[in-house]
Structures are given as structure tokens and as C-alpha cells.
Amino acid sequence: MGQPLDISVGHLLRELTPQVLGTVVRRFRDFAAAEDAVQEALLAAATQWPDHGLPDNPRAWLTQVAFRRMTDQIRSESARRRREGEMAFEASRAPEATPTIDAAAEEDDTLVLLFMCCHPALTLSSAIALTLRAVGGLTTAEIAKAFFVPEATMAQRISRAKQSIKDSGIPFGLPTKEERVQRLRAVLHVLYLIFNEGYTSSAGPQLQRVELSREAIRLTRSLRNLLSDDAEVAGLLALMLLTDARRFARSNNEGDLIPLPQQDRALWDRQEITEGVALISATLPKGLVGPYQLQAAIAAVHDDAARAEDTDWPQILALYDLLRRMTDNPMVELNRAIAAAMVHGPTRGLELVDALKADARVADHHRWHAVRAHLLEMAGDPDSAIKHFRAAAGKTGSLPERDYLLMQAALLLR
């Protein structure tokens, strides 16, 4: 132990977890057992580091502890079952000294783990759930909420996904070019969901979980380095940067939510905006345009406005018209309804929102009620707006969002 503990242990462990897990899975070829071993290493670190300080190489420390847990488990099973196999042979050769791991290997292992979790042997929903757990660090409860299923159902899904990977004998390594094409849609979706959960937490007292959004950006940068010619990878990275740029303006010192029109735009990160605009500006003219590129273009239009009233809503509506042709996503339709209201008036926006009543994916979602409440307020119907603000507040798991929605309802009572 050498370094004083001058950074958050929890933040560091979250950052290191997918890197360590990737290394352990690559070495031992057992996803479920590797995750258990890494969890034990994390528990040891959380217990020891606050008292003794950070080790000189925190990642190597965690990897060594996880290796030893795996070694002990494999030797115990081997002795009990009196059999020898490939795993036992690997365990007998596991080093007792701290492994030598460079920064490049750390990042590569995380990216390989990401592609492994998105293997086509898994369904898309299982791949996304497993990656959110293993790479994104979300809890099973958080993932279940994102998928609108009970926590027990999600726990079973993740467990089956791990077993499928173990049974498949998937080699641990970067996929071939053809395999990358097969898995890329799931990989991008996973990164998008991790970023969204970090940017607006689905539950809990904090509006944002910065460690998740920053990790999603880091992983997407790695993916961009691997697939530099892929326009949708560039589009997703641009979208993340252009959205994350507003992070510091989204809440006040008390953690209260500040909606986009009311944000102090001087607090927006101009460096991220410049990088995001450069990425999407270089990507869009290349031809084939995908949904992440269009979402990035929409974010760029918002970020380009010096004031909320300067926002080019007709351009945003046109971009949403294109986006809805590419994706069957009710949240896109809700955002399009807002843009339509800003261009054509709240009546048109309400027509589009009401058309989503038949869509079970969103009809009872807190965001449907929140959008309808805002549009009703714009239309001069405060009583109905109050009803929907309160309904939205009762359906969100985010305390800052709930408090904001209740406040909006209270303001209309005055």
C-alpha cells in the first residue's frame, strides 16, 4: 500500500470492475465464477483500502485477489470431485505475485468483455441486461426497472445469460470483422442505455450518476478507436458528448432538477460541444445516416442556441420526422410531440401524445404524463396539467424528478 486515499473508493472500484472482470474471464473462461471472484475482491478492497490507503496498482491488486479466489475455488472443486481438467491446470499455473498489467490491456479487456456479453448466442434483451450488469455496473434492480420487469425475472435472465456464455465455449477475444457487425447493434444499445442511466438515474436520490455516463463515454471512445469508419459509432459518441455537455447546468446546489429551457447555458461544457459538433459534422455528409447520428444532430441544434428562445424548433421537428421513420421508439414520438408543439402549438403536440395511449410501452410511463402535463399547461388547462404532473410524480423512481414534477403542480395551484 502506497498512495493515500484521496479519491472516492466507490468511484474507483466502479471504474476498475469491468477491467478486472475482463481479465479474470479471459484467464479462467468462466463468466459466472469470475464475477463472483471479482465481487469478493471488491469487498476486500472496500474494507481494506479506506484504512490502509490505495495500493500502488489498484487494478493489479484487485486482479490478484480475484485470481486467488478463482484458484482456491477451482482447487477445492478439483479435490472434491477428484478430476483434473483445463480449468484446474490453468489454476495450478496462476501466479501468486501481482500480475503485470498495462493501461492498454485494461481498456482492451473491458472492450472485449463488452463484445462478449453481446454475443449473438444471446437474445438482444439478455445481452443488454448482462452487459449493463457486468460492464456498466448497474444493479439487477436498476436493470429490471429499465426493462419494466420484476427484479426476480431480471435476475433469472442475467443468470441464464451467464450460463449460455459458459455453455457456448465462446473464445475470449475481440470478434472478427463479421462478428463485430453482428454484435454492434446490441453493443451500441448497451452503451446508450448505460449513458442514459448515468445522465438521468431511473431511481434514487441523485439526478445523475456521473460515473456511469463517463464510463459509457470512455467505452464508446474505445469502440470509436476500434471502428473509426463506422458512422453510427461516431454518432453515438457525438450524442453522448453533446448531451453530457449540459450536465453541470441540470441541477442546482441542492440537487434540484433544472429543465433545459431554464438552464444557465454559460455552464455548458463548450469543449464537449465543440468535439461533438465536429464529430457529427464530419459524419453526416458520408451518406448512410442512422438513428444515433440523427439524435446527435438534434442535440447539436439545442446546444447551438445561445438562449432557449433561439432554439431552431422547425429543424428539430424535421430531424424527429426522419428519426421516427428509422425507429419504433415511443420516446422518440414523445420528443417529436414536444417539437411539434413548439412549432405548431400545444394542440398539435397533444394530438401526437394522445395517439400514444394505445402503446403499452409508454401509455403508463411517467414521461408520457409529464409531457402531456407540460403541453396542457401550454394550452391553458392548468387543472388537467396538475393531474398529469402528479401522476408523473407518482410513477418515477427518481426523487429529483418527482420533486420537480410536484413543484410544477404546486405552482399551477397558485
Note whether residue 318 is domain-resident: yes
**340 in any annotated domain:** yes
Which run of H or E residues covers position 204?
strand 203-204
65, 44 Cβ separation under 8 angstroms: yes
- Please provide residue 363's backbone torsions phi and psi, each rounded to the nearest 5 degrees: -60, -30
Domain closes at, from 101, 128, 147: 101
* Mean pLDDT value of segment 316-342: 95
Q: Which residues are CB-contacts of 235 (< 8 A; sequence separation ≥ 6)?
A: 279, 280, 283, 290, 292, 293, 294, 295, 296
The mean pLDDT of 145-167, rounded to a whole number, is 84
Query: Is 331 inside a domain boundary?
Result: yes
Question: Closest by alpha carbon to 112, among 54, 159, 30, 174?
Answer: 174
The total number of residues written for the chain in this structure: 414
pLDDT tens-digit series, residues 6-16: 456 777 787 78
Place 3 in a pLDDT band, splitting at 50, 70 and 90: low
- Rounded Cα distance between 230 and 228, Å, is 6
pLDDT at res. 82: 54
pLDDT of residue 27: 84
pLDDT at residue 136 is higher than 70: yes
Alpha-helical (H) ranges within 227-355 are 231-244, 270-283, 291-304, 313-324, 330-344, 346-354
Q: What are phi and psi of 257, to 5 degrees?
A: -70, 135
Q: Is the pLDDT of residue 117 over 90?
A: no
The mean per-residue pLDDT over the stretch 53-60 comes to: 88
Q: What angle do CA 386, 328, 133 make, to 5 degrees?
A: 85
Predicted confidence (pLDDT) at residue 316 exceeds the cutoff of 70: yes
**Is 95's pLDDT higher than 70?**
no
Predicted confidence (pLDDT) at residue 237 exceeds the cutoff of 80: yes
Query: How many separate domains does the chain show?
Result: 2
Identify the CA nearest to 138 among candidates 61, 30, 216: 216
- pLDDT of 47 higher than 70: yes
159-162, long-range: CB < 8 A, 24+ apart: 159/32, 160/126, 161/117, 161/122, 161/126, 161/127, 161/129, 161/130, 162/31, 162/32, 162/35, 162/130
Q: Does residue 103 carry a pLDDT above 50?
A: no
Range name among 117-131, 298-312, 321-335 with the lowest pLDDT average: 117-131
**Where does a domain end: 74, 101, 128?**
101
Q: What is the mean pLDDT of residues 129-133?
A: 86
Which tens digits make up the pLDDT trace of 167-184? 887 777 777 878 888 889
User: What pLDDT does residue 373 have?
Assistant: 97
DSSP 251: B
Using the predicted structure, report yes or no on whether residue 105 has a pLDDT greater than 50: no
* Model confidence at 381: pLDDT above 90: yes
Q: Confidence class of residue 118 from pLDDT cuts 50, 70 and 90?
A: confident
177 in any annotated domain: no
Last residue in a domain, options 101, 135, 166: 101
**79, part of any domain:** yes
Helix (H, G, I), strand (E, B), or coil: what is residue 115?
helix
- Positive or negative CA dihedral for 164, 168, 169, 170? negative
User: Which residue has 402549438 as its cell numbers?
Assistant: 345
Question: Which residue is associated with the grid cell 485470481?
Answer: 67
**Contact call for residues 191 and 219 (beta carbons, < 8 A):** yes
For the cut 90, the answer to whether the pLDDT of residue 121 exceeds it is no
Kindly indicate the confidence band of residue 148, based on its pLDDT and cuts at 50, 70 and 90: low
Q: What is the pLDDT, as a whole number, of residue 135?
A: 83
pLDDT band at 56 (very low <50, low <70, confident <90, very high): confident
In a domain, 41, yes or no: yes
69: domain range? 1-101
Would residue 352 count as lying in a domain? yes
Q: What is the dihedral of CA 196, 145, 340, 405, to 10 degrees?
A: -100
**Residue 86: is its pLDDT beyond 70?**
no
In this prediction, residue 13 carries a pLDDT of 81
CB–CB of 125/234 below 8 Å? Answer: no
83, part of any domain: yes
Q: What is the CATH number of the domain that holds 350?
A: 1.25.40.10
Label residue 203 by pLDDT band (50, 70, 90). Answer: confident
**% of the chain exceeding 90 in pLDDT:** 48
pLDDT of res. 165? 82
pLDDT for 181: 80
**Residue of higher predicted confidence among 101 and 115:** 115
How confident is the model over 244-295, as pLDDT tens digits?
999 999 999 998 999 999 999 999 999 999 999 999 999 988 878 999 999 9
Whether the Cβ atoms of residue 56 and residue 19 lie closer than 8 Å to each other: no
Q: Is residue 99 predicted with pLDDT exceeding 80?
A: no
